[in-house]
Amino acid sequence: MDGNGRWAKAKNLPVIAGHRAGANTAQRITERAAQVGVKFLTLYTFSSENWLRQKSWVDDFMGLLRWYLHHEIKSLMDNGVRLRVIGQRALLPNDIQTLIHRLEVETQNNQVITVVLALSYGGRDELKRATQSIAIKVAKGELKAADITCSTIEQHLDTVGLPDPDLFIRTSGEQRLSNYLLWQMAYTEFVFVPTLWPDFTVKEFDQALETFQNRKRRYGLYVDAE
């Protein structure tokens, strides 16, 4: 969801106004995703690198996140949204950790769509933590190194139990992963959109889905030309 800051700057607004507008866009896109049958939607909300930004920016963002977590429970329940959070939540303020846990528990039986928030998340950090967990089991004799498989690694990732993404959409014209779901996106289809995230529309979302539907996915296998 890239471009919140640039959107605010272009309008001579504080950066946090861009994130408020971006949060509204996330709500619209989540509603649309549920309408068209998308079962899992993952939103890159706050990266592990974002902690390195100015404290005032981080504090403003956490305040906005806190507000939405407080006020979104009714909307989540009314729309059948199951919430899940990935990333190093232990680095988040304690009250936000409590709110996340509450929402995950209260929405766990909702079945329309699962919305995954990547908070304090970085792909390399996730792989590091997974590797450390596996290494500890090997050191304890609970697991043999020769028995480590791709499935072993996946069982130690933050996304355990979630499917790999089919489609990755990045807004604002940037064309990079930015340390996002590095393991999981091995065969994901990419769509890059020039629109800044606060201006990203349902129509553009639908167009991205249509682009995905027209792709031929081979997963590295050879397929004879038709």
In tens, the pLDDT along 147-164 reads 999 999 999 999 999 999
Pick from 3-7, 133-137, 153-157, 214-218: least confident: 214-218
pLDDT at residue 221 in the model: 76
Give residue-wise pLDDT tens across range 107-118: 999 999 999 999
Q: Is the pLDDT of residue 226 over 60?
A: no
What angle (nearest 5°) sits at the alpha carbon of residue 142, between those of residues 120 and 155? 35
For the chain, the average pLDDT equals 95
Contact at 8 Å (CB) between 171 and 1? yes
The residue type at 222: Y
- Any domain includes 153: no
Kindly indicate the confidence band of residue 223, based on its pLDDT and cuts at 50, 70 and 90: low
- Any domain includes 28: yes
Kindly indicate the confidence band of residue 82, based on its pLDDT and cuts at 50, 70 and 90: very high
Residue found by looking up tokens 């971006």 in the block: 22
Q: How many domains does the chain have?
A: 1
Q: Which domain holds residue 38?
A: 4-122+164-207
- Any domain includes 114: yes
Give residue-wise pLDDT tens across range 39-53: 999 999 999 999 999
CB neighbour list of residue 152: distance below 8 Å, 6 or more residues apart: 134, 143
Residue 50 a catalytic site member: yes
The residue type at 126: E
- Any domain includes 223: no
Q: Which of 2, 4, 79, 158 is catalytic?
A: 2
- Any domain includes 95: yes
Residue 109 a catalytic site member: no
Q: Which of 4, 12, 24, 50 is catalytic?
A: 50
Determine what percent of the chain falls in helix, strand and coil, rounding each to the nearest 5. 50, 15, 35
Q: What CATH number is associated with residue 46?
A: 3.40.1180.10
% residues pLDDT > 70 (the chain): 98
Contact at 8 Å (CB) between 143 and 137? yes
- Any domain includes 134: no
- Any domain includes 73: yes
- Any domain includes 47: yes
Phi first, then psi: give them for residue 80, nearest 5 degrees. Answer: 65, 35
